[in-house]
Chains A and B, each alone.
Chain A
Amino acid sequence: MNGEPFAPAVSARDRAEAALRVLLPIAVLALGIIAWELVVRLQGIPPYVLPGPVLVFQTLLADWGLLSGSLMVTLITTLQGFVLAVVGGVALAVLFNQSRLIEYSFYPYAVILQVTPVVAIAPLLLIWLPQEAAVLACAWIVAFFPVLANTTLGLNSVDHNLADLFRLYGASRLQVLMRLKLPAALPYILGGLKIAGGLSLIGAVVAEMAASSAGAGSGLAYRIMESGYRLNIPRMFAALVLLSVAGIVIYFLLAWFSHVMLRRWHESAVMREA
């Protein structure tokens, strides 16, 4: 029995381990970039085939005005799609959880919406909807399902004895939902959020690409397509780098958020003494 509430004791070894986890990927990145630059220089590869990292970085700085504007357009679409996906996914899961009939009626269509490739739906949406709305709809479609599926799983994962306890004390449906089911589902919902963040970016990019083939748009994906047509490969790479960085930042923000929400009580986030 370890009766005392523990204080997280960070040993020197743990700290070294943590440092390695940060330093090693950075070292690999640095080596990769150096190798890339060397290959481009030594082989004399022309920039319209493969620009070196230095040129890509210079282009990023030179075109920052144009690219940062596009980045904002894509990020805003992503954020809107993400928020709608979270709100819609959680709300739909709660609705399904409250009524079996509604769940049986509509869940299959949520699955169908998910398994139909968004690339194939995008052109249709672009015909039906104004371009911005169509892009947003795509971001939403790909992002909402993981939230729905995870939240549904979480709402159904309530400890049966705890549910009995709520019944014993005469809890109302609303109390059971707010004070038992949703908190119990929180780790699952947050897991869904982590997936949905990346997917809403993907959805936005796919839809922007479909839109750009119609000659419309201003997001990063549109810049990538446009640069491709103009054989401005360094700018294409610069836009690609921005997209990757955006995706990474989104992931880490959500992972951090999840950790903050769960660190006091959930197994996944609670620090244990080794």
Chain B
Amino acid sequence: MAVAQSQTGGDVAVSLKGVTKTFATGVTALDRFDLALKPGEFVSLLGPSGCGKSTALRLIAGLMEPTRGSAISPGIRPGGARGQIGFVFQEPTLMPWATVAANVRLPLSLRRRDGVDVDTRVAAALDQVGLDGFAHAYPCELSGGMKMRVSIARALVTEPALLLMDEPFAALDEVTRFKLNDDLLGLWRAVKRTVVFVTHSVFESVYLSERIVVMTSRPGRVFTELKIDAPYPRDDRFRTSADYAALCRRVSDALADATARAGGA
């Protein structure tokens, strides 16, 4: 499980340079947006809703083309194999007609790579998210948190170099969210894949990330970047520490400034 990040090559895992994205409706979601990630980094994009966080994520995934500027990532690198990216949406986005195992297997079975023991990979991915007993359950039989775990397992099953997460825990209750935050950090520390985590929660972004990119809205721009240099592993002690509170205050102030700059929202 340790081969993942070597394939990104160089010192840059993701690079957006001067990216502008204007939709057909005339809405400019991103304006001269810059973002660079080193392999293995955990970066959060933080901003109010409508600030283009999700658009940035979809550009990195190669699901959209920038109107101007350049975007490089394992998803759109010329000649780069697809499947270098795992994507977790805000909703679990599972196929309701398929079992948990079949959902997790999807990325592998769509690409038919030789020499991959699919069943072992699927079992390992389910094991990683603590769902090893639920391979044959259907999504409608699971709770919201468990569905999200399946979604994460599906994103991990290809052992991607880059994991993109679009407010994955926003719809979950606090207890479940804390648990999944801890599990996510555990997974990230075990295999240092690059993670871009989109959220509107200051607390979540501080708890998880090495670096937070605070964005302004309409159009989305980088307002400022904050380094969170608290050491890992982070756990409940960190969550209740004075350091954490101070960091949250700093990030929260930055976010307030960003929103004020954009004319309030």
Contact = CB atoms under 8 A, between A and B. Distances in A.
Contacts of A165: 87, 89, 93, 106
Nearest to B158: A169
Interface residues of A, number: 27
A265 B97 contact: yes
Contacts of B142: 5
Contacts of A162: 93, 95
A169 B137 contact: no
A187 to B, nearest CB: 9
Given A159-B93, A167-B63, A5 B176 contact: no
Nearest to B139: A265
A184 B97 CA distance: 8
B198 to A, nearest CB: 14
Interface string A174-189: 0100011001101000
A162 B62 CA distance: 15
Contacts of B146: 3
A161 B82 contact: no
A169 B139 contact: no
A168 B95 contact: no
A270 B97 CA distance: 12
B93 A186 contact: no
B110 A1 contact: no
B19 interface: no
A1 B140 contact: no
Contacts of A5: 134, 137, 141-142
A175 B110 contact: yes
B251 interface: no
A168 B97 contact: no
Interface in B17-31: none
Contacts of A169: 82-83, 106-107, 110-111, 158
A171 interface: yes
Interface residues of B, number: 34
A1 B85 contact: no
A166 B110 contact: yes
A170 B83 contact: yes
B91 to A, nearest CB: 6
Given A161-B89, A168-B75, A169-B110, A1 B173 contact: yes
Contacts of A183: 95, 97-98
Nearest to B164: A168
A3 B83 CA distance: 31
A14 interface: no
Contacts of B96: 265-266
A1 B176 contact: yes
A180 B95 CA distance: 8
A171 B95 contact: no
Which residue of A5, A164, A167, A169 has the most chain B CB atoms within 10 A of its CB atom? A169
A264 interface: yes
A265 B58 CA distance: 29
Contacts of B238: none
Interface in B90-136: 91, 93, 95-98, 106-107, 110-111, 134
B143 A171 contact: no
A263 to B, nearest CB: 10
A170 B110 contact: yes
Contact of B63 (A168, A175, A265): A168
Interface string B170-187: 000100100000000000
A184 B93 CA distance: 13
Given A1-B173, A180-B95, A265-B140, A168 B85 contact: yes
Interface of B: 58, 61-63, 75, 82-83, 85, 87, 89, 91, 93, 95-98, 106-107, 110-111, 134, 137-146, 158, 173, 176
19 contacts: A1-B143, A5-B134, A5-B137, A6-B141, A162-B93, A164-B61, A164-B63, A166-B110, A168-B62, A168-B87, A169-B106, A169-B107, A171-B110, A175-B110, A179-B106, A183-B95, A265-B96, A266-B96, A270-B140
Interface of A: 1-3, 5-6, 159, 161-162, 164-171, 175, 179-180, 183-184, 186, 264-267, 270
3 A-B pairs with least C-beta separation: A5-B141, A170-B82, A161-B93
Given A164-B63, A170-B110, A183-B95, 6 more contacts: A3-B143, A169-B106, A171-B110, A264-B138, A265-B139, A267-B140
